[in-house]
Structure 1
Amino acid sequence: MRLRRPSVFAVLLTLAGVVLFIRLGIWQLNRAVEKEQLLRRFATANSAPTVPFSKVAAGAPAHAYPHVSVAGHFLRHHLYVMDDQVLGDRVGVQVYAPFVVSGGQRVVLVGLGFLPRGGSGKTLPYIPPLPDHRMTLHGLYVPPPAPALRMGGNRLPDQKQWPKTMIYMDLGDISKDLGHPLYPRRLLLDPDPAQPYVRKWTPGVMPPARHRGYAFQWFSFAAAAVAIFVILHRRRDPKDASKS
């Protein structure tokens, strides 16, 4: 196969596209490796020794998940329910409760766990009442989920009965609704077989497999750019031209 001499513009444009697509593919592969490391850290965080909440309360490195112990009391009758959650093949809710940390009025939002819906799935599952005494909790201190498409919002102030339902989590909105300042992260409680809640926590990040899928797409674009360049500059055989 012979090629016509391409213009300088065509060569530069193709090279720029190929380099860009390859760089984006490599970036996605690197992101997949980062996510695998992050998931490993998250999986082993529960078995790490607990640290006092005061040491990390103001914040922690972006991809660190401190295993903390914190004393205080729940704001009873104040529950937030993240609706339409999926765990395995079950649909249900994630339940959160505000917890006033001892020594101040600041609140940390506590993830109690997952409860599956039953029956028709139109009503909330039974949520056990919160303890009314001072206690110490243990769990992972993690960032809130990534911002979601709001589509009209949670409208928490318009809900007059508890628990209040959410379709996304915004700690600022919850703080305003409670009238208490919130810490910048959530506390996801350790598993407890005595509780009805299922606590199989995962970080709210894009899985490594999806990053690899995007990398394959970018590499495919690079290959397609080369193929298009060759097709457009292929020189037709004179015999084929005479036949046409």
Structure 2
Amino acid sequence: MRGFRRPPWWALLLTVAGALLFMRLGVWQLHRADFKEALLRRYAASSFAPVQDFSRVAMSPPADGFPRVQVHGRYLADRVYLLDNPQHDERGGVEVFVPLFLHDSSRLLLVDLGFLPGDGSGKAPQLPALSTDDVTLQGLYVPPPSTGFEMGGDALTAQKSWPKKAIFLDPAQVARDLGYVLYPRVLALDADPAAIYVRVHTLDFSSMPPARHRAYAFQWFSFAIAAVVILLVLNRKRARRTSSTSTIDDSDEQR
């Protein structure tokens, strides 16, 4: 190739290996973006799906599905948990979770009642009273909220009064706090115009949405291009400086 010298074999090998690795990482990020977008579409479509038998999906729900189920039970009304990190509006607020006793089951089902807006004061909003009678609930059987990273250990056991508030709601901590075994997922109730709760449920991809995966893919592809460009720049032939030498030779001849 004119203008370029042949690079050392090890430099060529490292460049090819690095570029292939960067390309592979970029493709993987694109696949993750497509996967999450498909999950979001499937989640949205699940809200209009027919109701399934809860007993069939309770312990082994589909990994990429969100069954719409109906359950019958009784709220453990004096054991309310408030998730304090959702950002539905600028006034703040909490996502309210309540355990539900199911008939003929020793497990508790954690129910996501929805988002209760705050008044901007930073204080937890006043919770409406929960029914202590048997109730029939309907909604999506979805994975629990992501736990993230919470410093300071178990924040629930340190609280002695109810409702209990946490930045992250870890199902293992909730089960320990209640002294019961929980179902592996939670019930996100269907929207109800008459309810005080805002029920706009979606999958929690706030830390890594599909758009961010695509941004990382672009970054990895850029690294692959940069590796090839660096190899070419480092092995570009430099023009020989012959003008000064020829000038000296001409002056010698004139003498």
The TM-score, its normalising length taken from structure 1, stands at 0.94
Looking at structure 1, the residues matched to 201 and 154 of structure 2 have their Cα atoms a distance apart, in angstroms, of 23
CA distance 1:13–1:109, change in 2 (3 Å): same
The residue type equivalent to 1:233 in the other structure is: N
Secondary structure class of the residue paired with 2:85: strand
Looking at structure 2, the residues matched to 219 and 150 of structure 1 have their Cα atoms a distance apart, in angstroms, of 34
CA RMSD of aligned residues (A): 1.8
Whichever of the two has the greater Rg, that structure is: 2
Residue 75 of structure 2 is matched in structure 1 by 74
Secondary structure class of the residue paired with 2:157: helix
Secondary structure class of the residue paired with 1:18: helix
Looking at structure 2, the residues matched to 151 and 163 of structure 1 have their Cα atoms a distance apart, in angstroms, of 21
CA deviation after TM superposition for structure 1 residue 119, in Å: 3.5
Looking at structure 1, the residues matched to 101 and 214 of structure 2 have their Cα atoms a distance apart, in angstroms, of 42
| Counterparts of residues 10-29 of structure 1 (less than 5 Å) | 10-29=11-30
Residue 252 of structure 2 is matched in structure 1 by none
Looking at structure 2, the residues matched to 29 and 100 of structure 1 have their Cα atoms a distance apart, in angstroms, of 42
The residue type equivalent to 1:212 in the other structure is: R
| Counterparts of residues 128-207 of structure 1 (less than 5 Å) | 128-205=128-205, 206-207=208-209
Question: What does the per-residue CA deviation read over 1:93-134, in whole Å, with 9 as the maximum and x for residues that have no partner?
Answer: 11100011111221011001111221422x101111111100
CA deviation after TM superposition for structure 1 residue 215, in Å: 0.5
Residue 234 of structure 1 is matched in structure 2 by 236
Partners of 2:91 and 2:119 within 8 A in 1:
no
Partners of 1:154 and 1:168 within 8 A in 2:
no
The residue type equivalent to 1:198 in the other structure is: V
Q: Which moved more, 1:204-213 or 1:96-105?
A: 204-213
Residue 42 of structure 2 is matched in structure 1 by 41
Looking at structure 2, the residues matched to 240 and 189 of structure 1 have their Cα atoms a distance apart, in angstroms, of 82
CA distance 1:88–1:226, change in 2 (3 Å): farther
CA distance 1:93–1:240, change in 2 (3 Å): farther
CA deviation after TM superposition for structure 1 residue 52, in Å: 1.9
Counting matched residue pairs gives: 242
Residue 127 of structure 1 is matched in structure 2 by 127
Residue 86 of structure 1 is matched in structure 2 by 87
The residue type equivalent to 2:71 in the other structure is: V
Looking at structure 2, the residues matched to 79 and 241 of structure 1 have their Cα atoms a distance apart, in angstroms, of 86
The residue type equivalent to 1:86 in the other structure is: Q
Looking at structure 2, the residues matched to 159 and 12 of structure 1 have their Cα atoms a distance apart, in angstroms, of 59
Question: What does the per-residue CA deviation read over 1:210-236, in whole Å, with 9 as the maximum and x for residues that have no partner?
Answer: 111111011011011111111111121
Higher strand share: 1
CA distance 1:85–1:236, change in 2 (3 Å): same
Partners of 2:92 and 2:120 within 8 A in 1:
no
Of residues 217, 220, 223 in structure 2, which corresponds to 1:218?
Answer: 220
CA deviation after TM superposition for structure 1 residue 53, in Å: 1.2
Secondary structure class of the residue paired with 1:222: helix
CA deviation after TM superposition for structure 1 residue 154, in Å: 4.0
Residue 66 of structure 2 is matched in structure 1 by 65
Instruction: List runs of 5+ in structure 1 lacking aligned partners.
Output: none
CA distance 1:47–1:20, change in 2 (3 Å): same
CA distance 1:210–1:135, change in 2 (3 Å): same
Secondary structure class of the residue paired with 1:32: helix
The TM-score, its normalising length taken from structure 2, stands at 0.90
CA deviation after TM superposition for structure 1 residue 28, in Å: 1.0
CA distance 1:240–1:49, change in 2 (3 Å): farther
CA deviation after TM superposition for structure 1 residue 242, in Å: 6.6
Secondary structure class of the residue paired with 2:45: helix
Residue 55 of structure 2 is matched in structure 1 by 54
The residue type equivalent to 1:132 in the other structure is: T
Question: What does the per-residue CA deviation read over 1:152-173, in whole Å, with 9 as the maximum and x for residues that have no partner?
Answer: 1342111111100111121111
CA deviation after TM superposition for structure 1 residue 240, in Å: 9.2
Instruction: List runs of 5+ in structure 2 lacking aligned partners.
Output: 246-255
